[in-house]
């Protein structure tokens, strides 16, 4: 696993662009909420720690990861945001559903990045087991939400060029 020896929550905020003025959107899947709420909290806490004001963080919930693309698109088109983080969790089951949802979600978020000048950050866990998702959403590997928040800050600064 790529995260085997990496804590996803490690970052050096002194090396990040100034974030106090940024407006960040968080689109959160309600499916696997035990995981997505942890990812949300990791992203939210990191954004605050890096200087983003609480009033500049907007949350929108969607039913599942497949719906993240639509939720992110609506946020980009209707709200003034500098970056959007798509937060979801897809855990492999016994059917091919996992493959279709994971692929469509990744493709949809990629399409948003090609279509719009507002970066959309992929914070969607695609895990084999619930335990892997727990480990990456605040467990022994840290929190992928924190990593996504750092990516959002860096990409928002890049898109301002």
Known catalytic residues are: 97
Q: Is 40 exposed, middle or buried (0-12, 13-18, 19+ CB in 10 A)?
A: buried
Beta-bridged to residue 119, according to DSSP, are none
Taking a C-beta distance cutoff of 8 angstroms, is the pair 10, 142 a contact?
Answer: yes
Question: DSSP letters of 59-127?
Answer: EEEESSGGGHHHHHHHHHHHS--SEEEEEEEEE--SSTHHHHHHHHHHHHHHHHHHH-SS-EEEEEEEE
Beta bridge partners of residue 25, listed in sequence order: 58, 84
């Amino acid at each position: 696993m790529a995260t085997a020896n990496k804590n996803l929550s490690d970052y050096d905020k002194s090396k990040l662009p100034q974030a106090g003025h940024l407006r960040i959107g968080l689109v959160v899947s309600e499916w696997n909420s035990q995981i997505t709420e942890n990812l949300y909290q990791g992203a939210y806490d990191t954004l605050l720690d890096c200087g983003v004001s609480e009033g500049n963080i907007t949350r929108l919930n969607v039913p599942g990861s497949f719906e993240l693309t639509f939720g992110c698109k609506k946020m980009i088109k209707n709200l003034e945001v500098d970056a959007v983080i798509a937060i979801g969790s897809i855990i492999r089951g016994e059917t091919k559903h996992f493959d279709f949802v994971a692929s469509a979600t990744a493709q949809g978020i990629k399409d948003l990045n090609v279509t719009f000048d507002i970066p959309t950050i992929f914070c969607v866990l695609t895990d084999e087991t619930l335990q892997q998702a727990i480990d990456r959403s605040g467990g022994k590997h840290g929190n992928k939400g924190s990593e996504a928040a750092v990516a959002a800050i860096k990409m928002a600064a890049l898109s301002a060029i």
